[in-house]
Amino acid sequence: MPTFHADQRSADKASYTDPRTVPNSDAGAQYTSVRFTDTLDLEGFRASIGSVGDAHDNAAAESVIGLFKNEAVRSDSPFRAGPLHGLREVETLTLEWVT
């Protein structure tokens, strides 16, 4: 599915007429404003983000991230043997925590 960053809207609207195009944003205020979402709607686009301010939209993912930070990343974690030095150690720690 084609995507483009919402802040990179082309001056030539015809370049984004593919109905499968989904604007991606970081959910910042400028991308969740009524004016911006109305513009997307008028242009025939569907935003990649759902409702903003909905506490349930990513609660499960944030819960897992919180558990990971508390159980695996903190300095007194049983999954760690000292400071982490590089991506490889983070990947190994993550794999051990998941399994």
Alpha carbon of 21 to those of 3, 39, 45, 48: distances in Å?
A: 5, 15, 7, 9
CA 5 to chain centre: 13
Largest CA distance in the chain: 56
How confident is the model at residue 15, as a pLDDT? 55
Report the half-sphere exposure of 75 (CA within 13 A, side-chain side).
1
* Tally of structural domains, the chain: 2
pLDDT (tens digit per residue) in 9-49: 544 455 555 666 666 565 666 556 777 778 877 887 766 66
pLDDT (tens digit per residue) in 55-92: 565 677 788 888 898 888 888 888 888 888 898 988 98
Asked if residue 93 is part of any domain, the answer here is yes
Strands (E), 21-84: 22-24
Asked if residue 33 is part of any domain, the answer here is yes
| Domain span including residue 37 | 3-43
Asked if residue 74 is part of any domain, the answer here is yes
